[in-house]
Structure 1
Amino acid sequence: MSGGKFDINCDLGEGFGNWRLADDNGIMPLISTANLACGFHAGDPVIMRNTVNLAREFNVAVGAHPGLPDLLGFGRRPMAISPNDLHAYLVYQIGALQGFLTEAGVAMSHVKPHGAMFYVLRDRALAEAAVDAIAAVAPGLPIILAGPTGKEVFSSTAVARGVPVWPEAYPDLEYEDDGSVIVERHKKPVDANLVYRRVAEIITHKTLTIRSGKVLPMDVDSVCVHSDGPNVLAVINAARKAITDCGRSLGSLARI
């Protein structure tokens, strides 16, 4: 779609206390959508409030990025939890971010589960609990999920319940041949030229060629770049250049 908007979303606010994971101040002006950590895998009240205000300053759409209660493992370790636990975790985190957004006069744009939460959401009972919680405290808001959607239990559950789903691609991560994303515990540098080629391929062909050479269908209008990458600014700028070179303009899906 020549001339249309294409989104870059990024996970931000992922520090805790005096510890900071990424250069949020450097990243925020370069993206169109921010997924804000809500305190369980990262983030604390001061960081959440400051990051909301930073997003408002640069007119970046803001969504909740709830994770598992695992600060030590940054929410990237699967946990054994009950549907009731998960429901409460999501309501608590989304509600916390909503308070800061209300104070800043900013609307919440979406919800995007973090890290290993995707693994636990492969269980149908947990997927149902998650959709219930999101629909209850963020009614009408979309969920951002790895694309293409519809095959995973969580995405199919959301779609069946009438909850909007925005599919995204991960140009800075690797995929398995079955289309599942390989979640890294620790981010490594990613070749910015590779990211450029991947984003250009997604936009022009709606496909993504992965490391094995397999071509995955990837009909998406958003890519996620992870803020903890060592060369994240180069990666984001490569994605921005690919968007422009392909005749699209940067813009949040929440504002298309």
Structure 2
Amino acid sequence: MYRIDLNSDLGESFGAYKIGNDEAVLESVSSANVACGFHAGDPLVMLKTVRAAKAKGVQIGAHPGHPDLMGFGRRVMNCTPDEVYAYTLYQVGALQAVCKAEGLSLQHVKPHGALYNQAAKDPELAYAIACAVKDAGENLILLGLANSSFEEAAAKAKVLFASEAFADRAYEKDGSLVSRKKEGAVIHDAELAARRVVQMVKDGTVEAIDGTLIKLKPHSICLHGDTPEAVEMAKTIRSTLEKEGITISPIKEVILK
């Protein structure tokens, strides 16, 4: 039997600025990555998002990023491993407190944006994040890019690792994500994205932007919550997976099955 988690990056509104339709996306996913205030989100948004996820029975993960509100955490920053460790621990701790107040526990930690992409290729940054995940306690799962530095870092830090693939992002032939500065980096066709996800889950492959076939074994599929078609994308992918006989479960159930 095939089983996969569907996750989405949520809680990315800030103050008076609203991003995405979190309530609608939560209808389709099994795990939510909640922004922790550095790249997006604020204390009130964090609380509202955790409560909304709780109401839908969706598991919660921390989504720490670079301290870059102006750039939405998508600008590369030259942070040291010590800084990355501290930033990650700080943000995870903030969301842990919100979850505790709501009678919940965090399930996982998934870095955001540039921090995610940098650490996927930089073993030292990946290890700094993995150590923060371990030191935060609660047996948290590190969610990171499949076939990247995250997997080895998690093993070294002795934390559980879940590999992630992306429904709505294009891949380079080396398995990294295509830069958002390039045309075709983001997939907007929900039906195409759904077909790609089925291929990832059942065949363990995905086609790169140049046609190369990449091998990967994801535990979780990311659906971005800040794109205009996020709600349609989430609904289409979930319904397609269910029609294909693929069970949708939270990350911890997928990796511990």
- The answer to whether TM tops 0.5 is yes
Query: Displaced runs of 4+ in structure 1, greater than 3 A?
Result: 122-125, 185-189
Q: Which residue of 1 aligns with 2:10?
A: 12
Tell whether the 8 Å contact from 1:188 to 1:230 is kept in structure 2 after alignment.
Answer: no
**Cα distance between partner residues in 2 of 1:20 and 1:55:** 17
Deviation at 1:208, TM superposition (A): 0.9
**Does the C-alpha gap of structure 1 residues 169 and 189 become closer, same or farther in structure 2, counting only changes over 3 Å?**
closer
Tell whether the 8 Å contact from 1:79 to 1:120 is kept in structure 2 after alignment.
Answer: no
Deviation at 1:188, TM superposition (A): 5.7
Q: What secondary structure is seen at the aligned counterpart in 2 of 1:240?
A: helix
Larger deviation: 160-169 or 17-26? 160-169
Deviation at 1:139, TM superposition (A): 4.8
**Does the C-alpha gap of structure 1 residues 54 and 91 become closer, same or farther in structure 2, counting only changes over 3 Å?**
same
Q: Structure 2: which 5+ runs fail to align?
A: none
Tell whether the 8 Å contact from 1:6 to 1:243 is kept in structure 2 after alignment.
Answer: no
Tell whether the 8 Å contact from 1:189 to 1:231 is kept in structure 2 after alignment.
Answer: no
**Does the C-alpha gap of structure 1 residues 217 and 189 become closer, same or farther in structure 2, counting only changes over 3 Å?**
closer
**Cα distance between partner residues in 2 of 1:204 and 1:45:** 39
Give, as a single letter, the amino acid of the residue that structure 1 aligns with 2:92: I
Deviation at 1:185, TM superposition (A): 6.5
**Cα distance between partner residues in 2 of 1:185 and 1:108:** 33
Tell whether the 8 Å contact from 1:169 to 1:223 is kept in structure 2 after alignment.
Answer: yes
**Cα distance between partner residues in 2 of 1:230 and 1:188:** 12
**Cα distance between partner residues in 1 of 2:24 and 2:33:** 15
Compute the TM-score of the two structures, normalised by the length of structure 2. 0.91
Q: Structure 1: which 5+ runs fail to align?
A: none
2:43 equivalent to 1:61: no
1:144-171 CA-to-partner distances (Å, cap 9, x unmatched) read: 1111x3xx33331212232111011111
Q: Which residue of 1 aligns with 2:164?
A: 168
**Count of aligned positions:** 251
Q: Which residue of 1 aligns with 2:203?
A: 205
What are the residue-to-residue correspondences of 1:141-180 with 2, within 5 Å?
A: 141-147=140-146, 149=147, 152-180=148-176
Q: Which residue of 2 aligns with 1:184?
A: 180
Tell whether the 8 Å contact from 2:6 to 2:220 is kept in structure 1 after alignment.
Answer: yes
2:89 equivalent to 1:100: no
Larger deviation: 209-218 or 21-30? 209-218
Give, as a single letter, the amino acid of the residue that structure 2 aligns with 1:123: D
Q: Select the residue among 54, 78, 81 that pairs with 1:80.
A: 78
Deviation at 1:116, TM superposition (A): 0.4
Q: What secondary structure is seen at the aligned counterpart in 2 of 1:101?
A: helix
Tell whether the 8 Å contact from 1:189 to 1:229 is kept in structure 2 after alignment.
Answer: no
2:124 equivalent to 1:129: no
**Cα distance between partner residues in 1 of 2:207 and 2:187:** 19
Please, what is the CA RMSD of the aligned residues? 1.8
1:116-150 CA-to-partner distances (Å, cap 9, x unmatched) read: 00243233433332222221113521111111x3x
**Cα distance between partner residues in 2 of 1:195 and 1:124:** 30
Q: Which residue of 2 aligns with 1:230?
A: 228
Compute the TM-score of the two structures, normalised by the length of structure 1. 0.92
